[in-house]
Amino acid sequence: MLHGNAKSPRDLDTALRLGVGRIVIDSPSEIARPAAAIGPDGHQKVMVRVIPGISAGGHEKIRTGTDDQKFGLSIADGYAQHAIARILGQPQLELTGLHCHLGSQITSVKPYLVAVRRMVGLMSRLRDQHGLVLPELDLGGGHGIACRPGERALDLMALARKVRTELAEACATADLPVPRLIIEPGRAIAGPAGIALYRVLAVKHTGDRVFVAVDGGMSDNPRPALYGVRYAPRLIGRHSTAAPARVTVVGRHCEAGDLLAADAELPADLRPGDLLAVPVAGAYHLSMASGYNLVGRPPVVAVGDGLARLLVGRESRFSYGAAVG
Ligand SMILES: Cc1ncc(COP(=O)(O)O)c(C=O)c1O
288 Cα: distance to centroid of ligand 1 (angstroms): 14
pTM of the predicted structure, to 2 decimals = 0.91
Residue 76 has pLDDT above 90, yes or no: yes
Give the pLDDT confidence of 24-53 residue by residue, as tens digits. 999 999 998 888 888 888 999 999 999 999
In Å, how far from its chain's centre is CA 179? 25
Concatenated DSSP letters for 65-114?
Answer: SSTTSSSSEESTTSHHHHHHHHHHT-TTEEEEEEE---BS-B--SHHHHH
Atom of ligand 1 nearest to the CA of 188: 11
**Ligand 1 pocket, residue 4 CB under 6 Å:** no
Chain-centre distance for alpha carbon 284: 7
Angle between helix axes 9-17 and 29-38 (nearest 10 degrees) is 40
pLDDT value of position 258: 95
CA angle 240, 244, 247 (to 5 degrees): 110
Q: Which residues contact 239 (CB under 8 A, 6 or more apart)?
A: none
3 CA: nearest ligand 1 atom: 1
- Ligand 1 centroid vs 3 CA: distance in angstroms? 10
The per-residue pLDDT for range 160-176, each reduced to its tens digit, is 999 999 999 999 999 99
Q: How far is the centre of ligand 1, averaged over its atoms, from the C-alpha of 102 (Å)?
A: 9
Check if 192 has its Cβ closer than 6 Å to any atom of ligand 1.
no
104 lines ligand 1 (CB under 6 A): yes
Q: What is the pLDDT of residues 181-235, one digit of tens each?
A: 999 999 999 999 999 999 999 999 999 999 999 999 999 999 999 988 889 999 9
Cα(231)–Cα(282) distance, rounded to whole angstroms? Answer: 13
**Residue 98: how many other CB atoms lie within 10 Å:** 26
Which residues carry out catalysis? 254
CB of 235 within 8 A of CB of 274?
yes
Q: Report the distance separating Cα 258 and Cα 89, nearest Å.
A: 50
Q: Which of 1, 73, 99, 101 to mutate to test the pocket of ligand 1 (most atoms within 8 A of CB)?
A: 101
At 325 the pLDDT is 47
- The dihedral built from the CA positions of residue 135, 139, 141 and 143, taken in this order, carries a sign that is negative
Asked whether 53 and 76 are in contact (CB, 8 A), the reply is: yes
Q: Provide the terminal-to-terminal Cα distance of the chain, rounded to the nearest Å.
A: 33
- Which residue has the CA at smallest separation from atom 16 of ligand 1? 101
Residue 59 CA to residue 284 CA, distance in Å, equals: 15
Whether the CB of 187 sits within 6 Å of ligand 1: yes
Flag whether pLDDT at 318 surpasses 90: no
Q: Is 291's C-beta closer than 6 angstroms to any atom of ligand 1?
A: no
Which ligand 1 atom is nearest residue 184's CA? 4
Does 184 sit in the ligand 1 pocket, CB within 6 Å?
Answer: yes
CA of 145 to the centre of ligand 1 (A): 13
Q: Is the pLDDT of residue 324 over 60?
A: no
**Per-residue model confidence as pLDDT tens digits over 95-121:** 999 999 999 999 999 999 999 999 999
| Average pLDDT of every residue of the chain | 94
pLDDT value for 61? 82
CA proximity to 111, closest of 125, 100, 121: 100
- Ligand 1, atom nearest to 64 Cα: 16
Would you say 24 and 73 are in contact if contact means Cβ atoms under 8 Å apart? no
- What is the CB neighbour count within 10 angstroms for residue 193? 11
State if residue 101 touches ligand 1 by the CB under 6 angstroms criterion: yes
